[in-house]
C-alpha cells in the first residue's frame, strides 16, 4: 500500500513537473486569459406576464460572455461559405428576426421552401423547433444553417479553422467556456454560444402587456377591445376561435395544427407535409407549429410559405374557413360559420397590432455588434 502511494506521489510529481517546466509558448494556449464568467440574468417574465419558465440546459447556463460571443457569431458573415451572409441575413431585428421574404434565399441565390421564422421568445418554444418541429434544442438547431446548401453553405471543419485563427474569437471562447487552447474551439461551443444569445431574445413589452400590467394611461381603443373579445371569445362576442390555438401569453398552444391552407383530398396530397413529413405519420400531414403572434404586424409575409402578404389576406383566409383536408382542424369551419364581417376582421387586426413591441426591435443588446 505504502509502495503504491509512493508510486502515485512520484507520478503526480512528474506530472506537476511537466506542467511547470516552461514550454515554449505555441501561440495556441489561452490560459493567460482570465476565465471568470458572469451569470446572465434574464428578465423575470414568468410571474409578470405568465410566460412559462424558460428551460435552460444544465450544460449551457447563460453567461454575459457566452451571450456576447453568441451575438457576434449570429451577426458574423464568417459563418457563410463566401462570407456574405450571417444568421441575421434571414433573421433581422427590425422585422422581429424574420427576413421579410415569403421564402428565404441562401448565399447562392436559391430559394428555400419555407419562410424564415421569428426568433422572439424562442427560448420558450419547447415543443420542437422549425415549422415542422424537426429539431429539439437551440444548440442542435444552430449547427444546421451553416452547412445547409441553401442557407450558409459552409462546412464546420472550415469554419472551426477560421475561428481558431481569428484575432478576436479565441479570447472570447476562452472567456465564455474556459477552454485552455485554441484547438478546443469547435462547432458545439459555437452553437452553445448562439443558443445563449437566442435565449435572451425576449419580447414582452407590447401595448397588450402594458394593459395587462395596468400601466397608467394605456388603454385599448374600442376596435382593439372588440378584436380582443372576438379573439378570446370574451363576453357576448362571437367565438372567432383564434385563442384556442394562439393561446396564453405567447399566443401559441405550442402544438402542430392544420389551419386549412391547402386542400388535399387524400392525406398524401399536401404540397408540404409539415409535421407529418418529419415524423412520418400521415395523420400529421399538413400540420405546422402554431406560431406566436407577438410582433405579427412586423413579420409579413405570413404562413410557413409566406403566401399571404398582409394581415387582411390572413383574415380573409380564416373567414373563409380554409380548404378541406382530413387533417384540417374543426375550428376552421366554425370560424367560417360565424361569418366574420369586414368590420370584425378589421377589429381582429387592430387587436393583433397591440402585440407589437418596438422596445424589442430596437433593443441595443440584440443589435449587430460590428
Ligand atoms: C437563408 C436564410 C436563413 C439563414 C441564413 C438562417 N436561417 Fe434560421 N430559419 C430560416 C428559415 C427559412 C427557417 C424555417 C425553416 C423551416 O421551418 O423549415 C428558420 C428557422 C430557424 C429557427 C427555428 C425557429 C422556431 O421558431 O422554431 C431558429 C432557432 C433559427 N432559424 C436560427 C438560425 C441561426 C442561429 C442561424 C445562423 C447560424 C440561422 N437561423 C440562419 C432561414 C434562415
Ligand atoms: C386550429 C388552430 C388555429 C386557429 C383556430 C387559428 N390559427 Fe392562426 N395559425 C395556426 C397555424 C398552425 C398557423 C401556421 C400555419 C402554417 O403556416 O402552415 C397559423 C398562422 C397564423 C398567422 C400567421 C403567422 C405567421 O407567423 O406567419 C396569423 C396572423 C394567424 N394565424 C392569426 C389567426 C387568427 C386571427 C385567428 C382567428 C381568426 C387564428 N389565427 C386562428 C393555427 C390556428
Structure confidence by residue, pLDDT tens digits, 236-292: 889 999 999 999 999 999 999 999 999 999 999 999 999 999 999 999 999 999 999
Q: What is the mean pLDDT of residues 198-218?
A: 94
Q: How open is the CA angle 306-311-317, to the nearest 5 degrees?
A: 75
Alpha-carbon gap, residue 303 to 148, rounded angstroms: 22
Alpha-carbon gap, residue 226 to 64, rounded angstroms: 43
Q: Which residue has the higher pLDDT, 149 or 350?
A: 350
Per mean pLDDT, which range of 35-49, 142-156, 190-204, 297-311 is the poorest?
Answer: 35-49
Does ligand 2 have an atom closer than 6 angstroms to the CB of 318? yes
Q: What percent of the chain has pLDDT over 90?
A: 83
Residue closest via CA to ligand 1's atom 2 equals: 90
Q: Which residue has the cell 461551443?
A: 189
Does ligand 2 have an atom closer than 6 angstroms to the CB of 308? no
pLDDT surpassing 90 at residue 47: no
Contact 180, 205 (CB under 8 A): no
Alpha-carbon gap, residue 53 to 126, rounded angstroms: 11
Does ligand 2 have an atom closer than 6 angstroms to the CB of 177? no
How many A from CA of 240 to the centre of ligand 2?
Answer: 12
Query: Which atom of ligand 2 lies nearest, measured to the CA of 261?
Result: 18
C-alpha cell of residue 139: 444548440
Alpha-carbon gap, residue 257 to 130, rounded angstroms: 14
The pLDDT of residue 13: 44
Q: What is the mean pLDDT of residues 193-206?
A: 97
The pLDDT of residue 277: 97
Q: What is the mean pLDDT of residues 56-80?
A: 97
The pLDDT of residue 22: 52
How many A from CA of 22 to the centre of ligand 2?
Answer: 64
Displacement of CA 221 from its chain's centroid (Å): 31
pLDDT surpassing 70 at residue 19: no
Alpha-carbon gap, residue 356 to 338, rounded angstroms: 27
- Residue 235: band (very low, low, confident or very high) from pLDDT cuts 50, 70, 90: confident
pLDDT surpassing 90 at residue 37: yes
First CA to last CA distance, the chain? 61
69 vs 41, 93, 342, CA distance in Å? 16, 17, 48
Query: Which atom of ligand 2 lies nearest, measured to the CA of 305?
Result: 17
Alpha-carbon gap, residue 212 to 75, rounded angstroms: 34
Query: Which atom of ligand 2 lies nearest, measured to the CA of 340?
Result: 38
Alpha-carbon gap, residue 143 to 29, rounded angstroms: 26
Report residue 320: phi and psi, to 5°: -80, -10
* pLDDT tens digits, one per residue of 323-337: 999 999 999 999 999
- Residue 18: band (very low, low, confident or very high) from pLDDT cuts 50, 70, 90: very low
pLDDT surpassing 50 at residue 4: no
Alpha-carbon gap, residue 314 to 307, rounded angstroms: 9
C-alpha cell of residue 226: 372588440
The pLDDT of residue 16: 44
C-alpha cell of residue 256: 402542430
Per mean pLDDT, which range of 51-55, 59-63, 64-68, 165-169 is the poorest?
Answer: 51-55
Which residue from 91, 134, 292, 295 has its CB within 8 A of the most atoms of ligand 1, so it is best to mutate? 91
Number of the ligand closest to the Cα of 316: 2
Task: Calculate the average pLDDT of the chain.
Answer: 92
* pLDDT tens digits, one per residue of 106-140: 777 788 889 999 999 999 998 999 999 999 999 99
* CB neighbourhood size of 128 (10 A): 19
Question: What residues flank ligand 1, with Cβ below 6 Å?
Answer: 74, 79, 85, 87, 89-91, 104, 106, 112, 114-117, 119, 122, 125, 129-131, 138, 141-142, 145-146, 151-152, 194, 198
Does ligand 2 have an atom closer than 6 angstroms to the CB of 49? no
The pLDDT of residue 46: 64
- Residue 52: band (very low, low, confident or very high) from pLDDT cuts 50, 70, 90: confident
- What is the Cα gyration radius of the chain? 25
C-alpha cell of residue 89: 441575413
Amino acid at each position: 500500500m505504502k509502495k503504491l502511494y509512493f508510486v502515485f506521489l512520484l507520478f503526480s510529481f512528474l506530472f506537476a513537473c511537466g506542467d511547470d517546466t516552461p514550454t515554449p509558448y505555441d501561440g495556441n494556449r489561452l490560459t493567460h486569459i482570465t476565465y471568470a464568467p458572469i451569470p446572465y440574468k434574464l428578465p423575470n417574465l414568468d410571474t409578470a406576464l405568465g410566460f412559462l419558465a424558460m428551460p435552460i440546459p444544465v450544460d449551457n447556463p447563460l453567461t454575459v460572455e457566452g451571450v456576447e460571443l453568441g451575438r457576434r457569431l449570429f451577426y458574423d458573415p464568417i459563418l457563410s461559405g463566401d462570407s456574405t451572409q450571417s444568421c441575421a441575413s434571414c433573421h433581422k431585428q427590425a422585422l422581429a428576426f424574420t427576413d421579410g421574404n415569403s421564402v428565404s434565399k441562401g448565399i447562392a441565390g436559391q430559394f428555400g421552401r419555407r419562410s424564415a421564422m421569428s426568433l422572439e421568445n424562442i427560448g420558450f418554444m419547447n415543443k420542437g423547433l422549425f415549422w415542422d418541429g424537426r429539431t429539439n434544442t437551440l444548440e442542435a438547431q444552430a449547427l444546421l444553417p451553416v452547412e445547409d446548401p441553401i442557407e450558409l453553405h459552409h462546412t464546420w471543419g472550415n469554419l472551426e479553422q477560421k475561428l481558431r485563427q481569428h484575432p478576436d474569437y479565441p479570447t472570447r471562447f476562452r472567456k465564455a467556456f474556459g477552454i485552455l487552447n485554441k484547438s478546443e474551439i469547435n462547432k458545439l461551443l459555437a452553437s452553445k454560444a448562439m443558443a445563449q444569445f437566442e435565449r435572451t431574445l425576449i419580447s414582452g413589452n407590447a401595448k397588450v402587456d402594458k394593459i395587462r400590467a395596468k400601466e397608467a394611461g394605456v388603454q385599448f381603443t374600442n376596435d382593439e377591445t372588440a378584436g380582443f373579445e372576438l379573439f378570446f371569445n370574451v363576453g357576448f362576442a362571437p367565438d372567432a376561435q383564434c385563442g384556442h390555438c394562439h393561446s396564453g401569453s405567447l399566443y401559441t398552444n405550442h402544438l402542430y395544427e392544420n389551419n386549412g391552407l391547402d386542400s388535399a383530398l387524400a392525406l398524401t396530397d399536401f404540397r408540404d407535409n409539415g409535421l407529418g413529413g418529419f415524423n412520418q405519420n400521415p395523420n400529421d400531414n399538413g400540420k405546422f407549429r402554431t406560431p406566436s403572434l407577438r410582433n405579427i404586424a412586423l413579420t409579413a409575409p405570413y404562413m410557413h410559405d409566406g403566401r399571404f402578404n398582409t394581415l387582411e389576406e390572413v383574415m380573409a383566409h380564416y373567414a373563409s374557413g380554409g380548404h378541406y383536408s382530413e387533417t384540417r382542424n374543426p375550428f376552421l369551419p366554425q370560424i367560417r360559420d360565424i361569418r366574420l364581417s369586414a368590420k370584425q376582421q378589421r377589429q381582429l387586426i387592430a387587436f393583433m397590432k397591440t402585440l407589437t413591441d418596438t422596445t424589442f426591435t430596437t433593443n441595443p443588446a440584440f443589435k449587430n455588434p460590428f
